[in-house]
Amino acid sequence: MIWYPYEQMKTMKAPYKIVDANGVYLYTKDSKLIDSVSSWWSVIHGYKHPELNQAIISQAEKFAHVMLGGLTHEPVQKLSEKLQSWLPGDLDYCFFSDSGSVAVEVALKMALQYFMNRGEEQRTMILALEHAYHGDTFKTMEAGDDEDYHFVLKAYGPSRYVVHIPTNIEALEKAFMKYHHRLNCFIVEPLLQGAGGMRMYDVSFLKKARELCDRYGVLLIFDEVATGFGRTGNRFAADLVLPDILVLGKALTGGYIGHGVTVANRKVYEGFYDDNPEHALMHGPTFMGNALACSVALKSIELFEKHDYMSKIRRIEEITRREMKDLSDYRIKEIRIMGGCVCIEVKDSASLKGYQQFAYERGVFSRPFLKYLYAMVPYVIKEEELVKVLDTMKEWFN
């Protein structure tokens, strides 16, 4: 028996059973659906991509996996070299994990231990954003701020280790003034907060955060598990403002295999690099650097560059703005668009009830949550397919 995610199993509606997938389409036994969710925002090249498939097949013929404890291999070496040259600044040191949540855990552990290694053991606190989502493991839940997902944490009472602030500069300055000597890091989903409601904010906030982190010696962590690889209309938000630690996941493997990476800059890496064995980073997921995941990630990045995905994303944003321009309805609170993400926030979640089935009947797979009806399409989507996704959203309010 499968226990499905985020569902009350007693009342959940039967999931659609997918029997095939190709390009932007998911196939059930008798229907064809455009996937407007990109399998939780990860399938940027669409399904059954011949080159991605081949990358996995070729690697599987050699070996699928060997552990990184005491062993290494070409796909993981090549991927870390590629990320080192492709990512901005001195974000050069790649620690691989098997999921986005674990990669964020690693980032938070790195930040804490970085200061422990320096003898600054009082720096136990994390600054994070209201409505943040960083994963479903315990420390990521604590850094997150979404009771709809993580109400189980209430059992522990308020955390002494995390402070949440809204995305405004005044609150940011106040938090640094008050807590700077106890903070080890400030973690954000830069520009776009995904699971917390597709909330968008300005780069000036990140610039200020960088300035304050520098002033008070706090590490800045960008969780780009969702925003990375173009989703905000930037390749990475880290191209605009440089963090000390960058976390990637989801689209890293083109959505083929769960994998994440925590990329540290030189300063952070050097905080661990010395003769003291206790200063080593004590972490090592069994499947870190999985050879299939690394091979497909390399191919995914190659496609991203070769086919100028940034221009595809700009086009998606342009079409979305054009199509959504005239939509207004008494039930809608706000329409937000950024890069390859569009979100309609409604005033009352009841007005989205039934939307999934409505979309299904029109050939679109969608999964609204709470008050948010959104699309994060695969970047290979054609104009008419994207218009169909957006028309379906608009038709719901007609």
Ligand X SMILES: Cc1ncc(COP(=O)(O)O)c(C=O)c1O
Q: Which residues are catalytic?
A: 6, 133, 223, 250
Q: Which is nearer to ligand X, 104 or 343 (CB)?
A: 104
**CA–CA separation, 68 and 221 (whole Å):** 25
User: Site for ligand X (CB under 6 A): which residue of 83, 104, 185, 246?
Assistant: 104
> How many CB atoms are located within 10 Å of the residue 142 CB?
18
Residue 135 and residue 104 in contact, taking contact as beta carbons nearer than 8 Å: yes
The interface with ligand X within residues 159-198 (CB under 6 A) comprises 189, 194-195
User: Site for ligand X (CB under 6 A): which residue of 36, 38, 59, 101?
Assistant: 101
- Closest C-alpha among 240, 366, 258 to residue 248: 258
- Closest C-alpha among 182, 186, 184, 185 to residue 122: 182
Q: Which is nearer to ligand X, 134 or 139 (CB)?
A: 134
User: Site for ligand X (CB under 6 A): which residue of 46, 135, 197, 339?
Assistant: 135
Strand-strand pairing, 25-27 and 32-35 = antiparallel
* Residue entry with tokens 């989801």: 250
Residue 263 and residue 83 in contact, taking contact as beta carbons nearer than 8 Å: yes
Query: For residue 92, with 0-12 CB atoms within 10 Å meaning exposed, 13-18 middle and 19 or more buried, which class applies?
Result: middle
Interacting stretch for ligand X, rule CB under 6 A, among 132-140, 236-244, 339-347, 356-364?
A: 132-140
Residue 272 Cβ vs ligand X, minimum distance, rounded to whole Å: 23
Q: Which strand (E) or helix (H) includes residue 114?
A: helix 100-117
Task: Verify binding: residue 252, ligand X, rule CB under 6 A.
Answer: no
- Closest C-alpha among 252, 325, 323 to residue 289: 252
Task: Verify binding: residue 223, ligand X, rule CB under 6 A.
Answer: yes
Residue 206 and residue 214 in contact, taking contact as beta carbons nearer than 8 Å: no
Task: Verify binding: residue 226, ligand X, rule CB under 6 A.
Answer: yes
Residue 397 Cβ vs ligand X, minimum distance, rounded to whole Å: 27
Residue 4 Cβ vs ligand X, minimum distance, rounded to whole Å: 15
Q: Measured between alpha carbons, how far is residue 230 from residues 25, 124, 254 in Å?
A: 21, 33, 12
Q: Which is nearer to ligand X, 365 or 396 (CB)?
A: 365
Residue 136 Cβ vs ligand X, minimum distance, rounded to whole Å: 7
Task: Verify binding: residue 73, ligand X, rule CB under 6 A.
Answer: no
Residue 259 Cβ vs ligand X, minimum distance, rounded to whole Å: 8
Give me the 338-377 binding string for ligand X, x by CB under 6 A, dash otherwise: ----------------------------------------
For ligand X (CB under 6 A), the number of binding residues is: 15
Task: Verify binding: residue 115, ligand X, rule CB under 6 A.
Answer: no
Q: Which is nearer to ligand X, 112 or 188 (CB)?
A: 188
- Closest C-alpha among 310, 125, 133, 293 to residue 218: 125
Contact residues for ligand X, defined by CB under 6 A: 99-101, 104, 133-135, 189, 194-195, 223, 225-226, 249, 258
